[in-house]
Chains A and B, each alone.
Chain A
Amino acid sequence: MRRAAILCLALLSPVGWANPPDPFNSPQWDFVHQRFLKAEPYQFDGKVKVEAPPEAEDSLNVPIAFQVEGLEQVQEVVVVADLNPIQQVLRFRPKAMRPHLAFRMKLQQGSPIHVAAKTPDGIWHVGGVWVNAAGGGCTLPSVGTSSGDWTKTLGKVSGNVWQRPDGSNRLRVRVMHPMDTGLASGIPTFHIENLNVLGADGQVLAELDLFEPISENPMLSFDVANQSQFKLEGRDNNGNRIQAEVSP
């Protein structure tokens, strides 16, 4: 009854109409909306499906996957962890592949993970999950930096391509990189900033902006059409280039 009343109020109030409340009740949602969605119109939408375990077993490597189904021409997908000290996780612009992505991230504490997909009408469609975590993931040095052996493998790419039962192909790549957040004492921020996936002919299939919360040695899974030869191009915030060719 009370819920129904609140719902009515929300429908009547123009503010409630314009800015639907966050289903996770995140104290940071308004800020996230202002800062990362540029205060543009949004709606919570079940078409943006986000998968993550309810409990993070390893706060340094929390697996997240999203799939946007039934929305045409997704321009950009933004992932934000509301309660992380660095909130923005990644931005993904699928040019010629499905708006699906799987990756791993660092969590400093339990947090809602919001995934917002923008359609050509300028509306953000938002989905999310809540992940509980023991935390501490963002303020720890990377394994590579603390062991000192990251220089040997920096920017090295490995990958593979699989045919999936639904006829699409799955591209998985791992790029060796410390992805230091800058929040561990005495270790400056050092992370991959851009990563583009191209077809063998040079056509850009997707663009990715990665931020500090992405886990060390990022592991990414893409759902592509039926291509099986790919190029990966990118760079980190120190200007180191990433260039590789991945095939099955």
Chain B
Amino acid sequence: MKHLWGLACLAFSVTVQAANFEYPFTPEQVAPDTYVLEGKTEDFSKENGGFIVNAAYIITNEGVIVIDTGSSRRFGEQQRALIEKQTGKKVIRVYITHHHPDHFLGNQAFRDVPIYALPETIQAAKQEGEMFSNNMYRMIGDWMRDTHLVPPTQTAKLGTETIGGHDLEVLAFQGHTHSDLVLFDKTTGVLFSGDLVFHNRAATTPHANIQQWQHSLETLLKIPFKVLVPGHGKVTKDPAPIAQTRAYLVWLQTTLQEAAASGLDMTEVMATPIPAEFKDLALAQSELRRSVAHLYPALEAEQLKPAKQAE
């Protein structure tokens, strides 16, 4: 009986905690002036409220620069409140790395701040944002309350700009989506890679072009960074997550191509065992299933030949 009461209390406290809709943000300093809110390497759920992504900020002399605003209005608001309380400074600029919902649906909290992104990202956010946010309501529920689509407002220019004592370089890549913004803080050596790099979490591919992605990763390796902030997973001081993402994408591409060449149908490919090398990647099997849905139709179509037909 006591045991049951304990369970009941536990259930009650869990409910109360969730009802607060407070994201468990704990800023981690990764370099001078530079902090990361590290999300879990999980899929969206009503438990994590979409805090499955890394959001970051740089404290400069002129104010704070935010990189990605998270999954919901609540995310953006709580992120901004935390930053302003911690630093006593205003947010002066936001960069959005790409148009996936976990990276920009918190924009609503930064309506009065210029929000920068690459032009294709702004366009894609406008086109697909509503669909994303509808799906997010389904996946994280009330965490999304009153979240509205706010596309980025400013076109990010390529090249280096000095803001509040930080030399920030904007680089444009492709592969994870049609346009992936990477921010390199030359002053601190921090590279904000967005979702071109995943760390101990399987890469996601809804808008991916694997070949372009591989090319982008090769280029990223040439940048003389000291700290790497991946889109998902732990921050590192070495390029290991880039190598890991490359190796995973090679395996994914090869697996799908070989499956298509042996005449497999989608559900069979989805059941491919994950090799030991990638066993530690969070969500490997479920991301493989998603990637099959994204990438397999084009690969299997290549294996079909036009039939002889009466005109």
Contact = CB atoms under 8 A, between A and B. Distances in A.
Interface of A: 51-53, 55, 57-58, 61, 63-65, 102, 104, 134, 155-162, 164, 170, 172-174, 219, 221, 232, 243-247
Contacts of B309: 155-157, 243-245
Given A158-B307, A245-B307, 10 more contacts: A53-B267, A65-B265, A104-B266, A158-B306, A162-B263, A164-B263, A172-B263, A174-B301, A219-B265, A244-B307
A64 B268 CA distance: 10
B304 A61 contact: no
Contacts, number: 86
Contact of B290 (A57, A155, A243): A57
A195 B148 CA distance: 46
Contact of A63 (B138, B270, B308, B310): B270
Nearest to A134: B135
Interface string B291-308: 011100100110111111
B86 interface: no
Given A57-B294, A134-B134, A159 B266 contact: no
Nearest to A56: B293
Size bracket, chain B contacts = 20 to 34
Given A57-B289, A63-B270, A64-B267, A172 B306 contact: no
A221 to B, nearest CB: 4
Interface string B259-295: 0001101111011000000000000001001101110
A85 B309 CA distance: 34
Contacts of B266: 63, 65, 102, 104
A43 B199 CA distance: 47
A160 B294 contact: no
Given A134-B138, A160-B303, A53 B270 contact: yes
Contacts of A158: 301, 304-307
Contact of A57 (B293, B300, B304): B293
Contacts of B138: 134
Contacts of A155: 309
B311 to A, nearest CB: 10
A22 B239 CA distance: 52
B304 A58 contact: no
A206 to B, nearest CB: 16
B265 to A, nearest CB: 4
Contacts of B271: 51
A221 B263 contact: yes
Nearest to B286: A55
11 contacts: A51-B268, A53-B267, A53-B293, A57-B294, A64-B267, A65-B265, A65-B266, A102-B266, A159-B307, A219-B265, A246-B307
A165 to B, nearest CB: 9
B248 to A, nearest CB: 18
Contact of A51 (B267, B292, B308): B267
Contacts of A134: 134-135, 138
Contacts of B304: 158-160, 172-174
B307 A102 contact: no
Contacts of A221: 263, 265
A52 B134 contact: no
A229 to B, nearest CB: 10
A104 B308 CA distance: 24
A63 B265 contact: yes
A84 to B, nearest CB: 17
B96 to A, nearest CB: 23
Given A51-B271, A243-B310, A245-B308, A160 B265 contact: no
Nearest to A163: B263
A155 B310 CA distance: 10
A61 B270 contact: no
B263 A170 contact: yes
Contacts of A104: 266
Contacts of A159: 304-305, 307
Interface string B176-193: 000000000000000000
Contact of B267 (A65, A219, A246): A65
B192 to A, nearest CB: 28
Given A61-B297, A134-B134, A172-B304, A53 B289 contact: yes
A247 B266 CA distance: 22
A17 B290 CA distance: 40
Contact of B268 (A55, A65, A160): A65
A170 B303 CA distance: 13
Contacts of A157: 306-307, 309
Nearest to A50: B267
Nearest to B263: A162
Given A53-B289, A172-B300, A174-B301, A63 B267 contact: yes
Q: Which 3 A-B pairs have the closest CB atoms?
A: A162-B263, A63-B266, A57-B293
